[in-house]
Chain A
Amino acid sequence: MSLGLMLNKLSEGMATSVLIFVLTLVFSLPLGLFVALMRMNRHKVLQNLMRIYISIMRGTPLMLQLLVVYFGPYYIFGIKLSPDYRFWAVIIAFVINYAAYFAEIYRGGIASVPSGQYEAAKVLGYSSSQTFLKIIFPQMVKRIIPPITNEVITLIKDTSLAFAVAVTEMFTVAKALASAEKTMTAYIFAGVFYYVFNLIVAFVMENIEKRLNYYRL
């Protein structure tokens, strides 16, 4: 197999990995915020429900969650699975898993805003939703960028778990090429692909962090 063809196959796998990455972030970042707010809600029932959800998501392996989300509908409810569900099962599993981690990061961020900020907002006549959106949320975002970057980079590498339900992302392609070609070349390229991707993500996140660095003394 020519080198060009090998790179071509790996890029196809990379496209799947990137798609998993992007879709997971698009859905899990907002979902995480929603979970965090419910987790911090005064209602004990809601609070505990979210506590259990986060505990399960963080306490079981992502690979197991993938298998449950994909095969669960058939084994639990007897629903026949369609071939396209494979990919969406991966997205669903990744989104609910990462939302749990993001929720805890958001919660830490919200809790770190000094209570004086709430008091000042109240004095100025802000409603509670205005207080959150205009005062608390912007301050929280600035503080949580470093831990979010951590999770985002972990997510890139976690995409390789998608093959548990037979979605052929890049690492699966690399493995198959390595066994068909009997060489390590594909692994080396896979490593380079991941590293470059991470480099780009780290660069983007650093820029976001810098741009949010206003009002700092």
Chain B
Amino acid sequence: MKKSLSLSVAIFLFATLVIGIVSVQADGIKTLVVGFDQDFPPYGYIGEDGNFTGYDLELAKAAADIMGLEIVYQPISWDSKDLELDSGTIDCIWNGFTINEREDKYTWTEAYKGAGQVFLVSADSDIKTFDDLKDKVVAVQADSAGLYAIQDEKNKELLDSFKELLVVPQYNEAFMDLEAGAIDAIILDIDVAKFQIKDKESEYRILDEFLQKEEYGVGFKLGNTELRDKVQEALNEMAKNGTFAKLSEKYFGYDSCIMAACLANEK
């Protein structure tokens, strides 16, 4: 009795494996698979209702609707984003994705948003300018624009003045460290910082000076201009019909779109 039970379980599992593989190959619906870091509010994160949401994810949904594709949100491990994109398991990276320093690594859409890297410190910290960061412990996320910015040749002096540059796998760990007093500052994207200090203005503060100014775009596998052009077309249409204005108002409180098509609207 016991034997036949375990045998039937094994057969059932094997059958689901086979069906799983076969059904995937039969799947003919056109999809746009968007890779993103789900720990990255306000660009992509789990919303109040438990579903994925965020500025970039809503933009991607709107673009997919225009292109007549079904959107698939695929949370990825940020460290493996190049592997995912190259192997075709995702179609694009759409996730507050910084173009600067990565111009030649991906095929990009036009930059749709301006941003920059800033320092986040505790509200009661005595750090006010870059000079105050001397002998402090500063955290930054692995493989992020912030890390590349601080490692840039022109910021070498600043980097050398730190006591330590701590590279963390997730920003959330850095926020916990900052709260616990284990680190003194975090290098991160300005809008991520603003999202983080919302409702917590008494706990955190952003330094006025930018470490680096930059621009965001949608990244495709190098050479995939066909899909890029389609997405760009959809983005232009979204600029015209006000999707950009509406969404960036919702997430950032101002119209953040910097595409030529958006700027042409304003005139």
Known: A182-B200, A184-B176. A83 touches B87 (CB 8 A): no
Q: What B residues does A179 contact at CB under 8 A? A: 39-41, 45, 170-172
Of B39, B83, B84, the residue contacting A175 (CB under 8 A) is B39
Known contacts: A165-B77, A182-B200. The answer to whether A5 contacts B49 by CB under 8 A is yes
Chain A: how many interface residues by the 8 Å CB criterion? 33
Q: Looking at the assembled complex, report how far the CB atom of A140 sits from the nearest CB atom of chain B, in whole angstroms.
A: 18
Whole-angstrom CA separation of A75 from B88 in the bound complex: 11
Please measure, in the bound complex, the distance between the C-alpha atom of A120 and the C-alpha atom of B157, giving whole angstroms: 79
Report the Cα distance A65→B65, complex, angstroms.
38
Residue of A80, A84, A165 touching B21 (CB-CB under 8 A) = A84
For the complex, what is the distance from the CA of A182 to the CA of B17, rounded to whole Å? 38
Q: How far is the CA of A182 from the CA of B176 in the complex (A)?
A: 9
CB distance from A137 to the nearest CB of B (A): 14
Q: Which residues of A contact B72 (CB under 8 A)?
A: 83
- With a CB–CB cut-off of 8 A, which chain A residues contact B20? 84, 88
Complex interface bits, B195-207 against A, C-beta within 8 A gives 1, otherwise 0: 0100010000000
Given contacts A23-B13, A82-B24, contact A75 B87 (CB under 8 A): yes
Task: Say which residue of A9, A67, A74, A165 sits within 8 Å of B88 (CB atoms).
Answer: A74
A165-B77, A182-B175, A182-B196 given as contacts; is B87 within 8 A of A176 (CB)?
no
The docked-state distance in angstroms from the alpha carbon of A164 to that of B48 is 26
Inter-subunit contact A180/B45 (CB<8 Å): yes
B13 to A26, Cβ gap below 8 A?
A: yes
User: Nearest residue in B to A178 (C-beta to C-beta)?
Assistant: B172
Say yes or no: B175 contacts A67, CB within 8 Å.
no
Interface residues on chain B, size class? 35 or more
Taking the complex as formed, is A159 at the interface, i.e. its CB lies under 8 A from any CB of chain B?
no
Within 8 A of A (CB), among B195-232: 196, 200
Pair A5/B39 contact, Cβ less than 8 Å: no
A1 surroundings in chain B (CB, below 8 A): 46-50
Q: Kindly list chain B residues whose C-beta atoms are within 8 Å of the C-beta of A84.
A: 20-21, 23-24
B175 near A82 with CB under 8 A, answer no
Would you call B10 an interface residue if the criterion is a C-beta within 8 Å of the partner chain's C-beta atoms? yes
Is A133 in the interface zone, CB < 8 Å from B?
A: no
Cβ of A132 to closest chain B Cβ, rounded Å = 17
CB distance from A166 to the nearest CB of B (A): 5
**In the complex, A5 Cα to B77 Cα: how many Å?**
24
Assess A86 versus B89: contact at CB under 8 Å? Given A165-B77, A179-B172. yes
B69 → A minimal CB distance (Å): 15
Tell yes or no: B116 within 8 A of A by CB. no
Contact A176 B10 (CB under 8 A): no
Given contacts A1-B48, A26-B9, A83-B24, 8 further A-B contacts (CB under 8 A): A1-B47, A5-B50, A26-B13, A81-B87, A82-B25, A85-B24, A86-B89, A179-B45
Shortest Cβ-Cβ A-B pairs, 7 listed: A74-B87, A82-B24, A179-B172, A179-B39, A180-B45, A176-B38, A180-B46
27 contacts across the A-B interface (CB closer than 8 A): A1-B47, A1-B48, A5-B49, A23-B13, A26-B13, A67-B80, A71-B80, A71-B83, A75-B83, A80-B88, A81-B88, A82-B25, A83-B24, A83-B72, A83-B89, A84-B23, A85-B24, A166-B74, A168-B38, A175-B172, A176-B46, A176-B75, A177-B46, A179-B170, A179-B171, A180-B41, A180-B47
